[in-house]
């Protein structure tokens, strides 16, 4: 946490009262998560929520002692993706609005991509490593934990070791594919989920497939509100700098056109 004296700006006390929320998930290892209780060592990272990209940059500049400035999108290779078709109509429209402001645009298809399978594999690893770090043994009654939580974390204990090993191999292969893919362009524009996290007893909405794979891959992601639709889009890339600087440019573009 940062004190108000440490940076020039501060977050609103009640984020639900803010008109817009900007979310930043750094690439793996960009911001240390040492000392945090983590469900999955390879997936969990420190994220930041602010009310604008400018505020986010102020905080990051204070943490990292690095200056960020808007970048002309014509200097980047920015792509859309067939994954946007999995979003609802409002999410698709938000992406289209953002892409319409960027001239050098192309679409990139991720071959053989099953976002749902990637999300489920990631959840399995979270349950496995989370159970180990929290000392869970697969029972539904354990001091200090609710039955609902223990029931959710129980499934992984019913699987044979071969299944878990296969899952880890698939995730490693996926991460390697994404590292290779994101070397061929700079930023991908995608929708975000239209709702918050589901209850522990409920399955996540299909829309969660749009964001979970980004975290599992270790890529950087910036969520910014498109003002016409009032729906967030995510800027995804291997370079945190490119993602953040493009976010600054878009925020400035949105403010001058509305």
* Beta-carbon count within 10 A of 148 CB: 12
Q: Model confidence over 108-157: pLDDT tens digits?
A: 666 667 888 888 888 888 888 888 888 888 888 888 888 888 887 888 88
Q: Enter the tokens of residue 115.
A: 């976002």
Q: Report the C-alpha dihedral over residues 172, 174, 177, 183, rounded to 10 degrees.
A: -90
Q: Model confidence over 30-89: pLDDT tens digits?
A: 877 776 666 677 777 778 889 999 999 999 988 888 889 999 998 999 988 877 777 788
pLDDT in the model for residue 52? 93
pLDDT in the model for residue 118? 87
Average pLDDT of the residues in 175-180: 91
Please report which confidence band the pLDDT of residue 205 belongs to, taking 50, 70 and 90 as the band edges. low
pLDDT of residue 7 exceeding 80:
no
Distance (Å) of CA 19 to CA 33, 51, 73, 192, 227: 29, 8, 26, 17, 11
The reply to whether the predicted model has a pTM over 0.85 is no
pLDDT in the model for residue 55? 94
pLDDT in the model for residue 6? 35
CB contact at 8 A, 210 and 191: yes
Please report which confidence band the pLDDT of residue 8 belongs to, taking 50, 70 and 90 as the band edges. very low
Looking at every residue in the chain, the average pLDDT score rounds to 80
CB contact at 8 A, 43 and 122: yes
Q: Report the C-alpha dihedral over residues 190, 209, 162, 181, rounded to 10 degrees.
A: -10
Q: Model confidence over 208-250: pLDDT tens digits?
A: 667 788 888 999 999 999 999 988 899 999 999 999 999 999 9
Q: With respect to CATH, is domain 15-111+185-257 assigned 3.90.1300.10? A: yes
Q: Delimit the domains of the chain by residue range.
A: 15-111+185-257
pLDDT of residue 12 exceeding 70:
no
């Amino acid at each position: 946490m940062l004190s108000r004296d440490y940076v020039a700006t501060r977050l609103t006390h009640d984020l639900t009262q803010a008109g817009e929320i900007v979310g930043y998930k750094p690439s793996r290892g960009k911001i240390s998560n040492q000392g945090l209780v983590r469900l999955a060592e390879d997936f969990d990272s420190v994220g930041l929520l602010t009310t604008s990209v400018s505020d986010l940059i102020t905080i990051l500049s204070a943490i990292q002692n690095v200056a960020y400035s808007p970048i002309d999108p014509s200097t980047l290779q920015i792509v859309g993706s067939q994954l946007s078709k999995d979003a609802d109509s409002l999410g698709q429209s938000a992406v289209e609005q953002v892409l319409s402001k960027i001239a050098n645009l192309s679409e990139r298809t991720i071959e053989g991509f099953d976002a749902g399978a990637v999300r489920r594999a990631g959840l399995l690893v979270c349950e496995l490593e989370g159970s180990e770090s929290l000392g869970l043994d697969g029972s539904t009654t354990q001091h200090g934990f609710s039955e609902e939580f223990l029931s959710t974390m129980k499934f992984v204990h019913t699987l044979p070791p071969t299944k878990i090993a296969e899952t880890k191999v698939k995730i490693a292969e996926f991460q390697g594919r994404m590292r290779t893919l994101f070397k061929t362009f700079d930023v991908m524009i995608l929708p975000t989920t239209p709702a918050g996290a589901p209850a522990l007893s409920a399955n996540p909405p299909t829309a969660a497939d749009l964001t979970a794979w980004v975290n599992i891959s270790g890529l950087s992601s910036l969520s910014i509100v498109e003002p016409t639709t009032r729906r967030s889009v995510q800027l995804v890339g291997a370079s945190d700098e490119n993602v953040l600087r493009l976010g600054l440019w878009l925020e400035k573009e949105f403010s001058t056109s509305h």
